[in-house]
Each structure stands twice: as structure tokens, then as C-alpha cells.
Amino acid sequence: MSRENGNRKPPVIEVLGAGPAGIAAAYALARTGKADIEVLERAGAIGGNSASFRIDDIWCDYGSHRFHPVADPHVLEDVKRIMGDDLLLRPRHGRIRLGGRWIHFPLKPLDALVKLPRTFALSLLADSFMGRFRKPSPGPRTFSSVLLEGLGPTISENFYFPYVKKLWGVEPEKLAVKLAERRISGNSVSRILLKMMRMLPGLKGKTTGRFYYPRQGFGQISQKMAEAARSHGARFRLNTEITRIERQANRVTGVWLRDGDKQVRRETTQVLSTIPLTALVALMDPPPPPEVVAAARKIRFRGMILLYLVLECDRFTEFDAHYYPELSIPISRMSEPKNYNGATAPRGVSVLCAELPADPGDRWWNMSDEELGKHFTRWLAQVDLPVNVPVRRCETRRLAHAYPVYDLDYEPNFRTIDDWFMGLDGLLVFGRQGLFAHDNTHHAFAMAYGAADCLDENGQLDRAKWESLREVFSHHTVED
């Protein structure tokens, strides 16, 4: 980007966080030449929860990550253009364990018909038939009541309820309806059946049952987008600790960072924040009103430990992911990274990645890699996948902010915080962590593009446009 357009000095925009949302905002703004952009990232690498790294020369992600073809067309077009030949369109080939049997996931009609336990299939059909006669339960509406109403007991009790209990560590009746709206796209038996029908040859679209995936791990999308942003002049500052966000009355005026022993001030026109909402509240100086601080203490994120078991074999399974709704083992999903990009090299080694939902400080969080590795192999044996090949080691990574927890109280607390930030000038909050949303990466990109679109060449916000976009974002539905 040219720093000066004639005599005009471009506005200074500080982007907080270099996950997909922060990177896409930097890219979208830098390519228009609208602003002088600096991205501040606490970690030593970019990509946030969507980053990739190598273990024994195999590209690995923070758990199973796919780029979903349902992305907004302009987001998808951009990703395809930036990635070129490095973006692969891959068939989904996973399995889910239901009633002790493996069934293809996403569900396929014939496979489900043959493999689902007969009693389970019959109960499902009965639930579908009885759906029209089901009465709403009299108590307050919760995640569990809307699922029982829409889907009936068979799939709710055998699949969704244990799965959410494992993911959030909270009983389904203590989770908010919003979770069902944001995370469950097939919220009636007929919709699930319709989704399955679309998997039939002849009814299949070009991308049905497929996903986009880069050759060098999911994080290559963020890497390439950051390169494109840099080529337009955006700067990325890693390993950076933001110490405070300066506010004068209703306007954010600067960001302070630690630079060695010194505190450095960046004067800004706009701050675009994609860091966790709770962290943002803590950085505000002066602090927000007490009710906002109290609300921030009441919302929380669920963490996740990623366990990477390094095995001496070309491939452990032919499947990309295994889903485990059952409560008998604590991992929710296991993926084999080599099966995402179809890599044939390196030979003689493969990695299995297990997703273990946990909270910082709990018994899993503080366990050694070796101990976690022993548990992992035990869990696999329990689900008929014994590890009969040499194990090199188990490595782990920990995400403190994997999923926002939508308990029954989260909504008014989130609203209190969000309303206060929405009332400030010079600060725009978005991204999965900023809006406490269960969004996919393509949603994070769409939010970032939207934010960039709402800023004029002086860095001033079109507030009405941003408010209407926020309404659109609130209808994002997560793809798994």
C-alpha cells in the first residue's frame, strides 16, 4: 500500500489477533489501500485456532479442520484465487459410532440403512412419524427441549445429548436454545433425511460430501492470506503483549504494547479486535462499568487438548475423522491428518489427532503427554481400533478458547458486554472469540470482510451498515 495518497495520511488501524478474522481484515483493508495496518498477535505464529504445524513432517491442525464449500461465494472465490493449485477438493470419508457400530459420516442412505442397529432405525422412523404430534414441553426452552421437540428422543439421547455433554461439560438441559440454532443444521428428522438424500448419486452437487483442504494443512489458507496482506503493506507483529487499550470517554484512542522493557503507544483511528471478548474487557483502560466487568466474569470458553499420537505405519485408517458421541470415552473426535490432504509422504509414519474437551486446570489439562498418550491408546482399543503398530510418542497442544459455552445465562451477559462495546467509537469487535460465536473459518472471513467494508477512507465507521451486518452474522450456522 502507498503510505500517502497525495497529501492524505491514511488512517492507522490496529488489528488485535492474527487468526483468520484478523488476517482477513488486514488483507481486505490493505488491498483497498484504505489504511495503514498493523496486526498485533500474542502468539509466535499466525493462524489462531486454524493454524497448522508439522509433526514428523506431517502437516497437522488443531483438531479436524475443513474449509466448507457453503462459504459465501465471494469468500470462497478469494480463498480459491489466493490458494491456486494448493487448494484441494476432497471427499469426506468419516465414521461415527452409534449403538456400538461404525456408520459413514456424513450419513449415506444405503450405509445407514444397512448398518444402523434395527431397533435404532425403527425408533428413528417412529420419532419422525410422531414428530407432528409431539407437544412442546411445559418448562423453559433449553437445548434439550428443542431437540426433543424437533428430532425426538432417539437421535437426541443417543447422539446429541452425550456429544454436547462431552464437548461443553454441561448437561443438555443447562444449555441454551441458541446452541441448537447455531450448531445443528439438521434440526428435524426430515431435514436430516433430506441431507442424506442429497448424498445419493444423481442428486449430488459437485461439492456435496466434499470439502476444501490445502496441501500444507488448513493453516496454509491463513498463511497465504497473510502473505497477500503483507504484499499490500500490512505489518504483522508476533509475540506481542498488548498491555492496555486506551479510552477517552466514549472513544478508543490508542493501544499500548510491551516492547522489551518499554511500554509503547500506538495512536489509532480504529482498533479491530478479534481477541477473546473476556480478554478485551480486561485490557480496557479505564475499565468498563462494573456491570460489564461482572458480565465478563460470568461467560466462559471451553478449552481443548489436542493429542497427537505418532505411529510407525503409512496410514492407521482410511478415514479422515472418527466421531465419538458416546460417553464411555472422553474424546469427541479423532482425525488422521494424512487423510485430509491425501499425502503419501512421509512413508512409515502417520499421526492420529484426538480432540479432548477440557478446562484449564482440570485433571486432563495438567496431565503429562506420556500419560495422555497411554489413555489415548486405551480409548482406541475400547472402540475396536487397537494400536498394533509401534508408537513413537504422544505430543499435545492446548487451546484455552476452543468453544464459547452457551449455558442458560450466557445471553444476557454477552448482550451487556456487546452493547457496551457497540456504543464505543474507534473499536470494532468481531471474529469467533470477539463475538462469542461458534463460527467456522469462512464466517470469520465474512465478518472481517464486512468490517473492512464498513470503514471509509478516513477509517470512519458506517454504523448503520455494521449493525445490519451484525444481524446477518447472528444467523451463521456452524458446519461440522
Ligand X SMILES: Cc1cc2nc3c(=O)[nH]c(=O)nc-3n(C[C@H](O)[C@H](O)[C@H](O)COP(=O)(O)OP(=O)(O)OC[C@H]3O[C@@H](n4cnc5c(N)ncnc54)[C@H](O)[C@@H]3O)c2cc1C
Point out which residues bind ligand X (CB under 6 A): 16-22, 40-43, 48-50, 62-66, 68, 242, 274-276, 279, 304, 355, 399, 401-402, 431-433, 439-442, 444
149/320 with CB nearer ligand X: 320
127/355 with CB nearer ligand X: 355
Cα 35 to Cα 19, 21, 31, 471, distances in angstroms: 20, 17, 9, 26
| Nearest distance, CB of residue 252 and ligand X, angstroms | 15
The DSSP output letter for 288 is P
Closest by CA to 221, choosing from 234, 232, 211, is 211
| Nearest distance, CB of residue 404 and ligand X, angstroms | 11
| Nearest distance, CB of residue 261 and ligand X, angstroms | 19
| Nearest distance, CB of residue 304 and ligand X, angstroms | 6
Contact 16, 368 (CB under 8 A): no
**Cell representation of residue 234:** 500490512
52/274 with CB nearer ligand X: 274
| Nearest distance, CB of residue 45 and ligand X, angstroms | 8
Q: Which residue is nearest to ligand X (CB)?
A: 19
HSE (CB half, 13 Å, CA atoms) of 158? 19
Contact 266, 280 (CB under 8 A): no
Give the span between the Cα atoms of 81 and 68, in whole angstroms: 16
| Nearest distance, CB of residue 218 and ligand X, angstroms | 7
128/274 with CB nearer ligand X: 274
18/107 with CB nearer ligand X: 18
| Nearest distance, CB of residue 464 and ligand X, angstroms | 24
Give the span between the Cα atoms of 126 and 108, in whole angstroms: 20
62/168 with CB nearer ligand X: 62
24/177 with CB nearer ligand X: 24
**Cell representation of residue 260:** 522489551
Strand pairing report for 210-214 and 101-105: unpaired
Give the span between the Cα atoms of 331 and 333, in whole angstroms: 6
DSSP-based helix, strand, coil % in the chain, nearest 5? 40, 25, 35
Please report which residue ranges of 202-361 form alpha helices under DSSP H. 219-231, 277-283, 290-298, 338-341
Give the span between the Cα atoms of 188 and 182, in whole angstroms: 14
| Nearest distance, CB of residue 33 and ligand X, angstroms | 23
- Long-range contact pairs involving 288-293 (C-beta distance under 8 Å, separation at least 24): 288/417, 288/420, 289/420, 291/416, 292/416, 292/417, 292/420
43/387 with CB nearer ligand X: 43
| Nearest distance, CB of residue 400 and ligand X, angstroms | 9
The DSSP output letter for 461 is B
> Using only C-alpha atoms, what is the Rg of the chain?
23
Question: How remote is the C-alpha of 121 from its chain's centroid?
Answer: 32
User: Phi, psi (5° rounding) for residue 34?
Assistant: -70, -25
285/456 with CB nearer ligand X: 285
121/478 with CB nearer ligand X: 478
Give the span between the Cα atoms of 217 and 85, in whole angstroms: 14
127/395 with CB nearer ligand X: 395
| Nearest distance, CB of residue 284 and ligand X, angstroms | 12
| Nearest distance, CB of residue 356 and ligand X, angstroms | 10
Closest by CA to 18, choosing from 29, 26, 30, is 26
